[in-house]
């Protein structure tokens, strides 16, 4: 049973995004961190990089494998969560607090293509 907060938007590839003042904050879902288990390394984009919706923008490494993280929306990276470099396990401990990066949305209409909590819950089966 995973935690799926009501106020967030979700990509089918298991990223969440919250938007405030045109800036999106992105992380991975509780379901995703459970599937990955033991996160040991996070490879984040550079500030200023351009993210394209649906394209690989970061990599999260668990003990078993490296997993691609996709940008749920397009935009310019404005900030990365540097605390994950020293403590990647925060992604497991607090997936909705341990955001990966922030970006300035270039096409806010893309948000409409993302799932709400109910649709994401249906996708992951609870």
Residue pair 106/74 in contact by the 8 Å Cβ criterion: yes
65 versus 109: smaller Cβ distance to other proteins: 65
Could you tell me the smallest distance in angstroms from the CB atom of residue 95 to other proteins? 15
55 versus 66: smaller Cβ distance to other proteins: 66
How many residues of this chain interact with other proteins, rule: CB under 8 A?
Answer: 11
- Asked if 65 touches other proteins (CB under 8 A), the answer is yes
- Asked if 59 touches other proteins (CB under 8 A), the answer is yes
- Distance between CA atoms of 76 and 71, rounded to whole angstroms? 11
CB-based contacts of 12, cutoff 8 Å, min separation 6:
115, 123
- Asked if 43 touches other proteins (CB under 8 A), the answer is yes
Length, in residues, of the chain: 126
Q: How many CB atoms lie within 10 A of CB 55?
A: 11
Among 40, 52, 111, 124, binds other proteins (CB under 8 A): 40
- Asked if 116 touches other proteins (CB under 8 A), the answer is no
Could you tell me the smallest distance in angstroms from the CB atom of residue 35 to other proteins? 9
**Chain positions contacting other proteins, by CB under 8 A:** 37-38, 40-41, 43, 59, 61, 63-66
């Amino acid at each position: 049973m995973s935690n799926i907060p009501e106020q967030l938007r979700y990509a089918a590839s298991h990223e969440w995004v919250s938007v405030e003042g045109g800036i999106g904050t992105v992380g991975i879902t509780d379901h995703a961190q459970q599937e990955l288990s033991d996160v040991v390394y996070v490879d984040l984009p550079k500030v200023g990089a351009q993210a394209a919706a649906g394209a690989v923008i970061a990599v999260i490494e668990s003990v078993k494998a490296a997993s691609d993280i996709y940008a749920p929306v397009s935009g310019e990276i404005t900030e990365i969560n540097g605390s994950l470099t020293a403590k990647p396990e925060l992604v497991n401990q607090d997936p909705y607090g341990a955001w990966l990066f922030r970006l300035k949305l270039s096409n806010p209409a893309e948000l409409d293509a993302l799932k709400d909590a109910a649709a994401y819950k249906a996708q992951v089966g609870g």
